[in-house]
Structure 1
Amino acid sequence: MFSWAGQPDIVRAAQKDTFYVDILVDQLREVVSLLFGPRRAANSQREVDLIAALTYYSLQIFGRKTLGEEYCDLERVTPSWRIPSSTRMGTLVVLQVVFPYLISKLRRSQSSHRLALRYNEALDLCSMSFSLATVQRLNLAIFYLFGAYLHISHRITGVKYLHTKKLIGPRYGYGMLGALILLQMVISGIISVKAKLHHDKVAEAEQLEKIPCSPGPNCTLCLGPKVAPTATDCGHVYCWDCIAVWCSNKPECPLCRQPVVLSNLVRLCNY
């Protein structure tokens, strides 16, 4: 009777697959370098990685095992104990290989124009990257705790592993490692929330400082409401920016012409 594969076998198979994909990547890079030159090979590293991974993992679409799966005696099945269809395996390969490449390409494309992005667009890009990394770590923690799905692509498509050989000796899991990852995520989340609250509080305070604090007479320099009201030694009140620029050019009160030292300007609160 077959049994579900444990975390150590699935991790070992994934490591073997990564090892062989890296070998294929190195060989393809040598071919590209010989055909198109070192510069083109260096500029197309991610595309070479994509082609190598597609070449290796696409064999699964036709029902073939990867070298890692053969090494660990694993068999792919659906939750209903059936062999996955070609459509299901094709979806798995796209999610596992092509989707990360597209996300990386989009991230690099937008990062190259980051200076031209509006603040909200840049924030959305950072949020998307953070969310993807968070989902990946959460999936890894769940795998270490309960097994079954090492990659998100396997979890989405429902492809699991059976161990086809008789197990000898006790099987150990990675539950403690999964718990540590969850603990780290909780701590990181708390720190992020505190940082966000602090940032919002500072931004709100800065906005309040820009709001005119007095319904009284306007600033005699800009003729507008006083923003960050500031008093001179003689008692006249102006906007902070207005009087600071004025005193930098002419150190005297604009109204009474008394001498004013820039360092003696007093910022008025609750004015």
Structure 2
Amino acid sequence: MVMAATQKRRLAFATAPTIIRANQKDSYYEKVVLLKQVTDAISVLKGSAFTHTHSQAIERLVKFIYLGVTTLVGARTLGEEYVDLHYVSRDGRRLPNLIRRLAFVLSYVGGPVLLKWFFAKLVQLTEIRSSESKGKHEGIGHLQAMKQKLLVSANKTVRCLEKVDWGDMLNLHLALFYFSGKYYQFSKRFFGLRYALGYRIDPRSRQAKGNYELLGLLIMTQLAIKYWLKLGGLIKDAETDGGNHDHDVEKGDFITKIPEALPDDDSDVLINLSNPKKLPYIKGSSRNCMLCLSPMKDPACAPCGHLFCWKCIFDWCKEREECPLCRSSLKEAQLLPLR
């Protein structure tokens, strides 16, 4: 009877529509209100060039500030207050302690950066070990040969991790949320932070989950089609090259053929004007971006004729649809990359 009474007193878990409304409210206050205020403050202290070149770090700082003054200290966010949500454990019988909340905040804010660092170090370590093993004389014993095979396997694993589309992994997690109504963020799933309603409801009048299951089904269908086509392309490529690539890997030539698992920020830059041979028709100080004040990377031209780094002007257009120099109308679709 005690267990039945406890079950009766337990608050009901929140459903997907309620959690999404809370998240939308939090996103507005975090990414529109707080981010703008912090960016303006940093611009006054460090200048606009600093804010544009460190935009991602500023966004992470804003996330930490917002969650630090709410979730971390045991308070509710504005979105959670808006729909009356409370954090509970996986079974809904306990409140998450400080360590669990701290782990969630740190992983949510710094998780992507930590993963990038980890895989970069993993690639570096496997390449160093492979170079050391390859540099030794060929009269190797059985143990050394086994070590070489393990290094080959490690590099193959890194190659597979490199090809993983982490955006698709997040979409898969989102689809699972639409089906079950649990854990909108992956960090909450990992640390077991669920939402419960802060008020009692009559189970007979409890609203259904809505049509969010349909959204989950659409995401799953999209991912299935995407990877079916990708698998077909891989099979076709394998039949074309006859497996020569794998043979080269077995020989130990993989060190120069595997790109880094998680590239640096500039690794995907096609044109860097710090190299005088790139776009030599752009002369002198005109090669510098007027937003970051550095040599332009992947220069883009606005309709008014002014040149900027592609990333700098693209980020600028997200906030203001005007040229930062002449204030003429400018939209993202009007930017012209120079080649």
Aligned counterpart in structure 1 of residue 78 of structure 2, from 50, 54, 67: 67
Q: CA deviation at 1:105?
A: 7.5
Corresponding letter in the other structure for 2:234: K
**Structure 1 residue 6 corresponds to structure 2 residue 15:** yes
**Structure 1 residue 98 corresponds to structure 2 residue 110:** yes
Return 5+ residue gaps in structure 1 as ranges: 109-119, 208-271
Residue matched to 1:179: 217
TM-score (norm 1): 0.65
Residue matched to 2:184: 150
Does the 8 A contact of 1:12 with 1:72 survive in 2?
yes
Q: CA deviation at 1:75?
A: 0.6
TM-score (norm 2): 0.53
Distance 2:155 2:46 in 1: 37
Q: CA deviation at 1:103?
A: 4.4
In structure 2, do the counterparts of structure 1 residues 19 and 105 end up closer, same or farther at CA, with 3 Å as the change threshold?
farther
Distance 1:202 1:124 in 2: 24
Q: CA deviation at 1:95?
A: 1.7
Q: Deviation per CA, 1:225-253, whole angstroms, max 9, x where unpaired?
A: xxxxxxxxxxxxxxxxxxxxxxxxxxxxx
Q: CA deviation at 1:104?
A: 6.2
Corresponding letter in the other structure for 1:12: R
Distance 1:142 1:33 in 2: 40
The number of aligned residues is 197
Aligned counterpart in structure 1 of residue 227 of structure 2, from 163, 176, 189: 189
Corresponding letter in the other structure for 2:105: V
Q: Deviation per CA, 1:2-38, whole angstroms, max 9, x where unpaired?
A: 2110100111111111111111111111111111111
Distance 1:129 1:87 in 2: 34
Does the 8 A contact of 1:61 with 1:87 survive in 2?
no
In structure 2, do the counterparts of structure 1 residues 63 and 143 end up closer, same or farther at CA, with 3 Å as the change threshold?
same
In structure 2, do the counterparts of structure 1 residues 20 and 35 end up closer, same or farther at CA, with 3 Å as the change threshold?
same
SS where residue 5 of structure 1 aligns?
coil
Q: CA deviation at 1:135?
A: 2.1
**Structure 1 residue 30 corresponds to structure 2 residue 45:** no
Q: Deviation per CA, 1:100-151, whole angstroms, max 9, x where unpaired?
A: 244467899xxxxxxxxxxx98994784463422321111111101111111
Distance 1:106 1:189 in 2: 26
Residue matched to 1:202: 240
Residue matched to 1:229: none
Aligned counterpart in structure 2 of residue 164 of structure 1, from 198, 222, 234: 198
Residue matched to 1:47: 57
SS where residue 242 of structure 2 aligns?
helix
Distance 1:60 1:182 in 2: 31
Return 5+ residue gaps in structure 2 as ranges: 1-8, 121-153, 246-339
Q: CA deviation at 1:203?
A: 1.9
Does the 8 A contact of 1:73 with 1:164 survive in 2?
yes
SS where residue 61 of structure 1 aligns?
coil
Aligned counterpart in structure 2 of residue 136 of structure 1, from 165, 170, 174: 170
Mark the structure with the bigger radius of gyration: 1
In structure 2, do the counterparts of structure 1 residues 184 and 121 end up closer, same or farther at CA, with 3 Å as the change threshold?
same
Distance 1:156 1:127 in 2: 20
In structure 2, do the counterparts of structure 1 residues 105 and 53 end up closer, same or farther at CA, with 3 Å as the change threshold?
farther
Distance 1:162 1:148 in 2: 10
